[in-house]
Structures are given as C-alpha cells and as structure tokens.
C-alpha cells in the first residue's frame, strides 16, 4: 500500500478520481494527505467527506514560499508520502519541496505540452484554433508546466466550445492520471 498526497486548488475532480481508484482497489494506494492553497475550494469538502487528512493554507499568511513548503514537507514526512500528485494545484513548486521530493512530484496539465502552458491551456488552444487537444502528465521541476513527460493523450476537437472541451479533457485526465499513478507505484 503506497501513500500518495494530492495537491489541488479548485474543484478537485482529479482528486476524486484518484481517491475513488484508491478506494475501489484500482490503485494499491491511499491518499494520505490532500494539500490545498485555497481556503473554501470545493476539493476540501470532497477530501473531508472521505475522511482524508487535509492541509489547507493561505500562502499570504506565511512570510515566504519556503516557510509554507517547510510546513508541507513536515506533514508529508509524517504521513509517509511517497508520491505527490498535483491535480489543479495552481502554484509553482519551490526549492524546499522540490529538494525534499525530487523526482517524486508529478502534475497533470490539460494540453499537449510543451504547447499551451499556464492556467488557461484549453482556452488558449481553442483560441489558436488547434484541432487536436490533449492531456499531459509530467514530472515537476521549477518551471511552470515543465519537467520530463511521462504520459500524453490526444483527442480531436473541432470547434470553440470550451465547456465541451473541458468535459472531454477531464474524462481523459481522470483515466490517464489513475493509469499513470498505477504504473509509477508498481
Ligand atoms: C485540470 O484540468 C488540470 O489539468 C488543470 O487544472 C484542472 C483541475 O481540475 N491543471 C492545470 O492547468 C495546471 N497548469 P480539477 O480540480 O477538477 O481536478
């Protein structure tokens, strides 16, 4: 049984997909800690209703990124976390966390990286007029949506309906994230 941490800032549908896969045995793992940098985010209630330990913090109440990451590393160590899965965590990981969990932090991003980095990847891709969208899972380094690619999945999309693109993209994300974590912890 492996201990995972999931970091999220918003809705938490990828968090749910991972937690569900742990609960029904598709992943030989448990979510030992959910970290959220947005007090009030929907993901918090989702973690609490599953009895998953949460660490919710406001970055502004800390003097620096190093200060809150030091606190996070302490909690990760206490929980025996082996792999950190960023799932819509909209914050660059700093040196403290990168050093403590080098090679053990992964992220999911809703584009075929290196195209369309950032917080509005689907909208940016649609505005560009691309006909193939996709999802990437990659190791995390100090750059925004940077780091070695682990898995990608593309889907054809013709049009400009961002809501529909997000719906299809999320379905792919949930499946690809669980499959990729399963391979990494094997
Ligand atoms: C996901 O689509 C994820 O790929 C994206 O945030 C969304 C979170 O959704 N991440 C990024 O854009 C990272 N740059 P969720 O809260 O429903 O899992």
> Could you tell me which of 185, 114, 98 has the C-alpha nearest to residue 152?
114
Which string of DSSP letters, residue by residue, matches 62-120? SS-HHHHHHHHHHHHHHTT--EEEESS--S---HHHHHHTTT-EEEEESSSTTSS-STT
- What the chain holds in terms of domains, given with CATH numbers, is 2-184 (3.40.50.170)
Determine the pLDDT at residue 170.
Answer: 98
User: Which of 2, 109, 138, 170 is labelled catalytic?
Assistant: 109
Determine the pLDDT at residue 60.
Answer: 97
Cβ of 134 less than 6 Å from ligand 1: no
Backbone angles phi, psi at 90, to 5 degrees: -90, 55
* In contact, 82 and 105? CB cutoff 8 Å: no
Determine the pLDDT at residue 27.
Answer: 98
Query: What gap in Å lies between CA 98 and CA 105, rounded to an integer?
Result: 8
Q: Which residues does 181 contact at the CB level (< 8 Å), separation at least 6?
A: 4, 18, 21, 27, 29, 83, 85, 106
Best of 108, 113, 139 for a ligand 1 pocket test (most atoms within 8 Å of beta carbon): 108
Separation of CA 84 and ligand 1 centre (Å)? 15
Cβ of 18 less than 6 Å from ligand 1: no
Cβ of 173 less than 6 Å from ligand 1: yes
Q: Whose CA is nearest to atom 8 of ligand 1?
A: 88
Determine the pLDDT at residue 152.
Answer: 98
Does the annotation mark 109 as catalytic?
yes
Residue 152's alpha-carbon distances to 35, 134, 146, in angstroms, are 25, 7, 14
Query: What gap in Å lies between CA 31 and CA 79, rounded to an integer?
Result: 10
Determine the pLDDT at residue 23.
Answer: 97
Q: Percent of the chain scored above 90 by pLDDT?
A: 96
The DSSP 8-state label assigned to residue 57 in this structure reads -
Q: Which residues does 15 contact at the CB level (< 8 Å), separation at least 6?
A: 6, 8, 31, 34, 43, 46, 47, 87, 88
Q: Is the peptide bond before 114 cis (omega within 30 degrees of 0)?
A: yes
Separation of CA 173 and ligand 1 centre (Å)? 9
Determine the pLDDT at residue 72.
Answer: 98
Cβ of 147 less than 6 Å from ligand 1: no
Residues of the chain with pLDDT under 50: none
pLDDT digits (tens, 9 = 90+) for 72-114: 999 999 999 999 999 999 999 999 999 999 999 999 999 999 9
């Amino acid at each position: 049984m492996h201990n995972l941490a999931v970091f999220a800032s918003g809705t938490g549908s990828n968090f749910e997909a991972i937690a569900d896969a742990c609960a029904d045995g598709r992943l030989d793992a448990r979510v030992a800690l959910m970290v959220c940098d947005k007090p009030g985010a929907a993901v918090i209630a989702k973690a609490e209703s599953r009895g998953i330990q949460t660490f919710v913090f406001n970055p502004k109440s800390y003097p620096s990124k190093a200060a809150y990451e030091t606190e996070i590393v302490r909690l990760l160590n206490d929980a025996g976390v082996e792999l950190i899965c960023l799932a819509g965590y909209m914050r660059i990981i700093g040196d403290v966390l990168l050093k403590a969990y080098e090679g053990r932090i992964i992220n999911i991003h809703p584009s075929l990286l290196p195209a369309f980095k950032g917080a509005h990847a689907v909208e940016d891709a649609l505005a560009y007029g691309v006909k193939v969208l996709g999802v990437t899972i990659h190791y995390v380094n100090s750059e925004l949506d940077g780091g070695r690619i682990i898995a990608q999945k593309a889907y054809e999309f013709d049009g400009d309906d961002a809501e529909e693109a997000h719906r299809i993209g999320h379905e792919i994300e949930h499946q690809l994230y669980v499959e990729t974590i399963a391979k990494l912890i094997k």
